[in-house]
Amino acid sequence: MIDKSCVKCEKPSNSFCTNCKLVHYCSRECQKADWKTHKTQCRPFEIKKDEKFGRYLKANRDVEADTIVVSEPPCIIGPKWNNEDEDPSSFTFFCVGCFEALKDLRTKCPNCLWPCCSEECIGLISEELHAIECAFLKAGRGPANKTSIKSVKEYFRQDALLALKILILQRRNPKKFKSLMEMEDNAENRLLTLNFKEAEDRINYLEDNFLKPLKKAEDKSNQVVLPIKDKKILHKIFGIIETNAMYINLANGNEICGLYPIGCLLEHSCLPNCSYSFDMKNGFKINVKAAREIKADEHLTTTYSHILWSTQLRQQHLKDAKYFTCSCERCKDPTELGTHFSTLRCLGSDESPCNGYQLPTNPISPNAEWACNKCPMRIKSDQVSFLTARMNDEIEKVFASSPTCEVLEELIEKLSQFLHPTHYHMFTLKHALLQLYGKHKDCPIESLSEEVLLKKLNLCNELLQIVQTLDPYAIRIPIYIGILYFEKHVALKEMIKRNNNCANIEDARKCLEEAERILKNETDTEQGKQLIQRVADALLNI
């Protein structure tokens, strides 16, 4: 039973720590005075370390669903380190103060002359944002040719800024710098990788433009501003960023990166038990939540990869980006928990055609063969990756051409000769197709035949069953799932209108309520906001 006296002064008390609800305090003062002691017990997890995971978080008691387990400000935030464009002169440019995308590079920070959205941007003077690096950028070399757009763009590259900010923290905030330097950098695994090579290019840029001029000034004045600034520390910093950076979606559609002392310790699982969001109005604080009840001793997990990818793709991505092999329940199961998200049809041979399925013999071993569940036919794993990559190219090409229902139906028909009906490529195509049924003005929902309307409903049910297995707590793909519930409601509502006995209004309402619940935190993106609005409007009209 909870002792209802203040843990600090033992006076009777009705208030308690709102985070863990385990200890009582009579006043704010007593709570504050006890924080140093309580903070280690308050957390529902411990930081552990082992050979396999490095540091990780382990629940030290049962944690109820929806409990905030971590709430902390970032050590550092900054522009993304991995610019998708290869040519620095075609990079997208963001304001150095608030990360707003810039149409041109005309407006400049009055002090360092780096591009910004407005001279009044408050990020320019924020201690947590641009103020960290402003003086260092000011001392930089500047574009080689100020009249050449190419040269100007090549100078103001932002994929190295986050690393520079971290380097500068050794002077501006040694405590944060120390905490960052304790993070995993995968030093040995990165050697000779593409990431390493690309980091080398960013390091040369930082050295040539900022660190060599700084060293010269330091030598001249006999004053050391940044004690450590060699290639070794810069590679360590890039390794830390690549391994740990979390992506933050801004309201304007841009993505930036953040590094968090505890948040970054969340371990990967393809079946995670935590979700997280960022508080943009509160210094980009991260709030990590238990997405379901977590039992004492369970590890706290998130997903570093994409839930709607096959095991082969997820494993490849985790190996390339984070240098480990995931051995979660989904990855170890050739059927991906019965969803058959990777399963191919077995084509057999000319002499003996087969109607079985090809599954990986060992899904977490990249080179293990695939075997049919009915005949002796085996295929190599790189044949599977080649085939699925070709299909992916075809699907992307079709999506880029704003396909009609007929085009998608044809492609599904074609690929169904090779893929299990719930293969991840089929999932993607079916998810797009069911939204198209009844979407366009020239083909409204009222005009769909009974058969197509029923097909829309069946597709929603088929895909909902898959997502309930792959993301049962709607942690990673809430928008995909929200769309399925919304479209199911659309189909049901139309069936009710047509007096179809299979549909009832309560089921349609439940779909909307489920969509509303799943989407409640999706307010950071335009797509999320629009869907929430559509669901809210539909709830009013049902």
Q: Give me the residues that bind ligand SAM (CB under 6 A), please.
A: 52-56, 183-184, 186, 243-244, 264-265, 267-268, 322-324, 326
From the CB of 57, what's the least distance to ligand SAM, in Å? Answer: 9
Residue nearer to ligand SAM on the CB measure, 119 or 255 = 255
**Distance separating alpha carbons of residues 386 and 406, to the nearest angstrom:** 27
**Distance separating alpha carbons of residues 413 and 406, to the nearest angstrom:** 10
From the CB of 244, what's the least distance to ligand SAM, in Å? Answer: 4
Residue nearer to ligand SAM on the CB measure, 326 or 467 = 326
Among all residues, whose Cβ is closest to ligand SAM?
Answer: 54
From the CB of 263, what's the least distance to ligand SAM, in Å? Answer: 9
Residue nearer to ligand SAM on the CB measure, 183 or 313 = 183
Neighbours of 397 (CB within 10 A): 11
CA distances from 107 to 78, 116, 132 (A): 19, 6, 20
Instruction: Burial-class residue 44 by CB neighbours within 10 Å (0-12, 13-18, 19+).
Output: buried
Neighbours of 118 (CB within 10 A): 12
Residue nearer to ligand SAM on the CB measure, 31 or 305 = 305
Q: How does DSSP classify residue 354?
A: -
From the CB of 245, what's the least distance to ligand SAM, in Å? Answer: 9
From the CB of 304, what's the least distance to ligand SAM, in Å? Answer: 7
CB 244 within 8 A of CB 321: no
Order across the sheet with 274-279: list the strands: 68-72, 285-290, 274-279
Residue nearer to ligand SAM on the CB measure, 144 or 191 = 191
Residue nearer to ligand SAM on the CB measure, 271 or 405 = 271
From the CB of 301, what's the least distance to ligand SAM, in Å? Answer: 7
From the CB of 310, what's the least distance to ligand SAM, in Å? Answer: 18
**Distance separating alpha carbons of residues 538 and 63, to the nearest angstrom:** 35
Render the burial of 159-191: b for 16+ CB within 10 Å, e for the rest: bbbbbbbbbbbbeebeebbebbbebbbbeebbe
Residue nearer to ligand SAM on the CB measure, 215 or 292 = 292
**Distance separating alpha carbons of residues 512 and 370, to the nearest angstrom:** 41
Cα 206 versus chain centre, distance = 28
